[in-house]
Amino acid sequence: MIGPRTKLGLILVMSPLLLWLTTLIIIPHLDMLYVSLREKVGVRQYEFGFGNYMTFFTEPLYWNTFARTAYMSIMATILTLLIGFPVSYYIAKIAKGRLKMALFLLCLVPFWVSELVRTFGWMILLRETGVISNFLQWSGIVNQPVEMLYNDAAIMVGLVYTSMLFMVVPLVTTLDSLDDSLIEAGYDLGASGFAILKNIVIPHAVPGIVTGSIVVFMLSLGNYLTPILLGGKSSLWFTGMIYSQFITRFNWEQGAAFGFLLLGLSSLIVFVGLKLSGQTLAKTMG
Nearer to other proteins, 201 or 209 (CB): 201
- Please give the residues from 4 up to 23 whose contact with other proteins meets the rule CB under 8 A: 4, 10, 13-14, 16-17, 20-21
Contact residue for other proteins among 184, 195, 250, 276 (CB under 8 A): 184
What's the rounded Cα separation, in Å, for the pair 50 and 261?
Answer: 13
Q: What is the DSSP string of the chain?
A: -----SHHHHHHHHHHHHHHIIIIIIHHHHHHHHHHTEEEEETTEEEESSHHHHHHHH-HHHHHHHHHHHHHHHHHHHHHHHHHHHHHHIIIII--HHHHHHHHHHHHHHHHS-HHHHHHHHHHHHSTTSHHHHHHHHTTS-SS----SSSHHHHHHHHHHHHHHHHHHHHHHHHHTS-HHHHHHHHHTT--HHHHIIIIIHHHHHHHHHHHHHHHHHHHHT--HHHHHHHGGGG--HHHHHHIIIIIS--HHHHHHHHHHHHHHHHHHHHHHHHHHT--HHHHH-
CA dihedral 239, 244, 247, 251 (to 10 degrees): -110
Nearer to other proteins, 75 or 178 (CB): 178
Near other proteins by CB under 8 A, which window of 46-54, 61-69, 194-202, 204-212? 194-202
Nearer to other proteins, 63 or 111 (CB): 111
- Please give the residues from 106 up to 145 whose contact with other proteins meets the rule CB under 8 A: 106-107, 109-110, 112-118, 120-125, 127, 129-131, 134
Residue count at the site for other proteins (CB under 8 A)?
85
What's the rounded Cα separation, in Å, for the pair 158 and 122?
Answer: 7
266 binds other proteins (CB under 8 A): yes
| Shortest distance in whole angstroms from residue 207 CB to other proteins | 17
Contact residue for other proteins among 32, 78, 81, 146 (CB under 8 A): 32
CA dihedral 76, 214, 201, 177 (to 10 degrees): 130
Nearer to other proteins, 67 or 82 (CB): 82
Nearer to other proteins, 60 or 86 (CB): 86
Near other proteins by CB under 8 A, which window of 48-56, 60-68, 202-210, 259-267? 259-267
286 binds other proteins (CB under 8 A): yes
Nearer to other proteins, 24 or 61 (CB): 24
50 binds other proteins (CB under 8 A): no
98 binds other proteins (CB under 8 A): no
- Please give the residues from 199 up to 258 whose contact with other proteins meets the rule CB under 8 A: 201, 218, 221-225, 229, 239, 242-243, 246-247, 252, 255-256
Nearer to other proteins, 75 or 100 (CB): 100
Contact residue for other proteins among 1, 8, 141, 189 (CB under 8 A): 1
